[in-house]
Structure 1
């Protein structure tokens, strides 16, 4: 298998896979219907059927990156921990984590991703589209209720919020090692960092965080506004779940592209707050923090473009996105959640 969009399923040893599935006590018989599942992930996903049951196999690319197998181990552990909770996540069937390549089997999700288009009835019903936004907040609140003890040793919740600003300023400083990068030209950078430090929430209740919670990582039910599954758990950790809500706010589609008629951010916050016992009084801080972090992450591609390690047009595009995120941070600092 490769990490390209043209996955040769023939490179998988399906006889070996079948023997492993037998040892796991899964339904036997011939493996049929092998087909790649295409998407933006670097990992490989292949759909197949066996014993009248459909599966998705997820494994690293043939040419693994340094942490590819560890990422899959973490994902499998997270999905196993969430399997018996109400959180909408792909349902793990079994995982092979003892040797590399790591892989796991999950049940296919019956749903669609709104960033690739809307089916009916969603496309023609504004009430469903509005409700989709609220369901995104509801699924996140459900995740925030999970006892972090289900993932012992995951993350470092102590000092989690205090580490954020220094961590991302250090990341930004590291871009200076790239040849040709003149340094960040980001209006509001230092003011935002100072505001975040000054308004740091004093306490929080640790919980399970997705780490990259936004519309592109959600699948919705084909016949309702319900979130069918939260996907791509590789950034999951134990931290402050309100960081996920801030991330959702920072990346909330401006102008409601893809899904017209979504509720405004303030309505999302109110809906999440009604479903959660968490202290929402500093929610602007979390939204500003998300803009700050994401802006710095995107600036990395701009810096790499100066060094010839990324396309210049992509670097320019993401730098413009960074500037927009810091402008949005200023709006959040001024209390404008709408």
Structure 2
């Protein structure tokens, strides 16, 4: 009987393989159907030719790239451990699946316009299923790669563990507060600055404001509230994986608007949406992830959304533009501008 670890590995690999191959086949079939509809004949030679080419492409990249890389990662664990900051599986999905899928999504409308010379036969709205399938499969692979380091059975962190963790943090704050007061009494003339605690990496006393602590987080030890307060990091992986790419999903959805895909604006929308997906190649805790999120997503989306609103109207939500602007400004201000003297004065609010 196969071990549970082997069953988990096989299930994960089959799901990743399906997420890697299915989107390309669906998008190519949609392109083949759109091309066949422009021929005006009952002969489906071109349709089956395109479908067979998509099957050949998926089979080739699977056998020549996907399977060898997977085998190499599992057989040569020392090579896999030397990879830092990026994920080979996500790179293969983004480059070999998402890029062709986005390209042929654009080609579906361009073929009809080029052959017929008119946009009158184009549908009022592009079907949402193909694009949603591409992004869902990409996020699914991201979730699987994150879940590999967690067990699927048993509780990851109980409520008692959470209570102990919160209590420990409160104790650290109390000790830090006392140390901060002692240093303030001993060295009143010392200039304002941060004092690093040797026993707490990364902790400083210069920015600690004990009088401005917010409301304490509640803990429930019994009853219905205890049951409702359960949380697990494995379930949060699913939540944050979808929330992280909600902005890109909304941007790709805008491409289905008739004013966008019937014009040249479909190109920048898809191009910058794909560029924003390049962050998925990085590991979840990569230090460059925040800055690349600004450079690859929020900053380009500001110009795309602003241009769409000016030219085509409010076909993209104003809330999305506000999100991109506020995230970009807050990142630049708190990470760079606060280092200058004019912004370095410590201030608090009540």
- Answer 1 or 2: higher relative contact order, Cα 8 Å, separation at least 6: 2
Higher helix share: 2
Which TM-score tier does this pair reach, normalised by the shorter chain? Answer: under 0.3
TM-score, scaled to structure 2: 0.25
Between Structure 1 and Structure 2, the one with more strand by share is 1
Answer with 1 or 2: which has the greater Rg: 2
Instruction: Compute the TM-score of the two structures, normalised by the length of structure 1.
Output: 0.26
